[in-house]
Amino acid sequence: MTLDDITVIGQQAMLVTLMVAAPMLLTGMVVGLVISLLQSVTQLQEITLSFVPKIIAVMVAFVVFMPWMSGLLSTFMRELFTGFPRYIQ
């Protein structure tokens, strides 16, 4: 296993991690922005108002994107495991 192999595996792992986390992070960010806008327009500054919708939206995004995320992770792991003989040399 060379340094280039390790670098490529690390880059792929970071990319897969970002892609798997992106749907939940983007959903939480968009819902938080919408709630913040609504709070500033209505001048309702209740702190708990922002947490519950974000949690629910992130959970819904997790359920909706789970097949895509699991497929992405299984593809990465399959490529990693099938490359072991090449890395051992």
0.85 exceeded by pTM: no
Question: First-to-last CA distance in the chain?
Answer: 7
For the segment 31-58, what is each residue's pLDDT rounded down to a tens digit?
Answer: 999 998 988 888 887 777 888 999 999 9
Parent domain of 9: 3-88
Q: Structurally, how many domains does the chain consist of?
A: 1
Angstrom CA distances, 89 to 6, 17, 55, 81, 85, stand at 13, 27, 47, 14, 7
